[in-house]
């Protein structure tokens, strides 16, 4: 198993195995930065965490866990049949913060899958969790290893680059798994409906929930 570099803004009582940590040690809980301590709870809605036009490949609506309102997004361009991640239009696309908050969890170092194969050990692969300080946490999964550009305790703004979309974790091809939940630890969380800011959906401006097949882009 690839060595996983895990930094989590967690109490030490949470087991490392919950995050697919391969070194057998508990997660490190560094003190938050001064800016993080001063950060006010976010009260607004969330923007799409991507730029340009994307397509909703799947929704997880109805799940009885943290994924109850999760969505999977891919680039709107045609998806090829290939064994090379780099051939997929979604691969390497920028993933950005859906709203302001404090970086609570960063997992990096999970090897990527060959398209069509699945990693059943690290569910989210390389991922980031933002604490919006309002009781809601956004999780972004399946980054390319080594591309995550934020660190635990860092205050981020809406639209700030988090990393590049990849194919790590429980994933058969490059895509973004995005969810909002009510607990930092996904295995303890319930999904939260995503309060979307207005965005472009199939050519019209809306704030309705995302649905499978929708072509979407952030409002300008």
pLDDT, one tens digit per residue, over 145-197 is 999 999 999 999 999 999 999 999 999 999 999 999 999 999 999 999 999 99
In angstroms, rounded to a whole number, what is the distance separating the alpha carbons of residues 129 and 80? 30
Average pLDDT, the chain: 87
Closest C-alpha among 17, 8, 14 to residue 122: 17
pLDDT surpasses 80 at 28: no
Between 210 and 8, where is the model more confident?
210
Residue 145: helix, strand or coil by DSSP? coil
Closest C-alpha among 103, 104, 145 to residue 124: 145
Instruction: Look at residue 106 in the predicted model and tell me its pLDDT.
Output: 98
Confidence band of 7 (pLDDT split at 50, 70, 90)? very low
Instruction: Look at residue 26 in the predicted model and tell me its pLDDT.
Output: 32
SS3 content of the chain, % helix, strand, coil (to 5): 5, 30, 60
Please state the pTM of the whole predicted model: 0.85
Confidence band of 128 (pLDDT split at 50, 70, 90)? very high
Structural domains in the chain, CATH included, are 41-218 (2.70.70.10)
Closest C-alpha among 90, 89, 100 to residue 47: 100
Q: How far is CA 116 from the centre of its chain?
A: 21
């Amino acid at each position: 198993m690839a060595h996983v570099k895990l930094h989590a803004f967690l109490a030490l009582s949470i087991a490392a195995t919950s995050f697919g940590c391969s070194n057998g040690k508990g997660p490190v809980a560094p003190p938050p930065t001064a800016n993080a301590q001063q950060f006010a709870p976010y009260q607004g809605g969330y923007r799409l965490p991507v730029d340009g036009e994307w397509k909703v490949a799947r929704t997880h609506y109805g799940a009885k866990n943290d994924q109850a309102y999760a969505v999977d997004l891919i680039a709107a361009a045609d998806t090829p049949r290939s064994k090379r991640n780099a051939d997929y239009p979604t691969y390497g696309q920028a993933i950005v913060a859906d709203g302001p908050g404090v970086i609570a969890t960063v997992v990096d170092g999970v090897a990527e899958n060959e398209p069509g194969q699945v990693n059943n050990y690290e569910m989210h692969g390389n991922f980031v969790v933002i604490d919006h300080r309002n009781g809601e946490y956004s999780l972004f999964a399946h980054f390319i290893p080594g591309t995550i550009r934020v660190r635990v305790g860092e205050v981020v703004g809406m639209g700030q680059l988090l990393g590049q979309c990849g194919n790590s974790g429980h994933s058969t091809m490059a895509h973004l798994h995005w969810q909002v939940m009510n607990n930092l630890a996904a295995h303890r969380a319930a999904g939260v409906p995503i309060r979307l800011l207005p965005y472009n959906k199939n050519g019209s401006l809306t704030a309705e929930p995302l649905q499978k097949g929708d072509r979407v882009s952030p409002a300008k």
